[in-house]
Amino acid sequence: MSHAKTVLVLGGGIGGIVTATQLRKQLPREHRVILVERETMHAFSPSLPWVMVGMRRVETITRPRTKLVQLGVELIQGRVEKIDAAQCSIQVNAKT
């Protein structure tokens, strides 16, 4: 009997990315780690002031979130519309 769990990380900012990657590293492989995020790209926000003053380009501070897949994190691109804690489920773009 499997005791595999699915862990959802809602939001792919720096906190969500670090959480998802650390969970993937620390949990046994039978557990799923899924990151749910609207945007395909992640911008390193501490570098945004450098972009505003012209010392960096947006392309140099952004990375595709799909790189997380290489680490074993599953991605769902979409907007979380509903969280049902009692059923342990979420609704993303009107899909459960």
Specify the pTM. 0.82
Residue-wise pLDDT tens digits, 61-90: 888 888 899 999 999 999 999 999 999 999
The answer, yes or no, to whether residue 1 has pLDDT greater than 70, is no
With respect to residue 18, please indicate whether it lies within any of the assigned structural domains: yes
Print burial letters for 16-53: b (CB count within 10 Å at least 16), e (below 16). bbebbbebbeeeeeeebbebbbeeeebeeeeeeeebee
45-54 pLDDT, tens digit each: 889 999 999 9
Which pLDDT tens digit goes with each residue over 50-66?
999 999 999 998 888 88
Total domains, the chain: 1
75 - beta bridge partners?
35
Distance (Å, whole) CA 73 – CA 12: 12
The pLDDT of residue 75 is 95
CATH number (domain holding residue 64): 3.50.50.60
Domain annotation covers residue 73: yes
Please report whether residue 1 resides in a domain: no
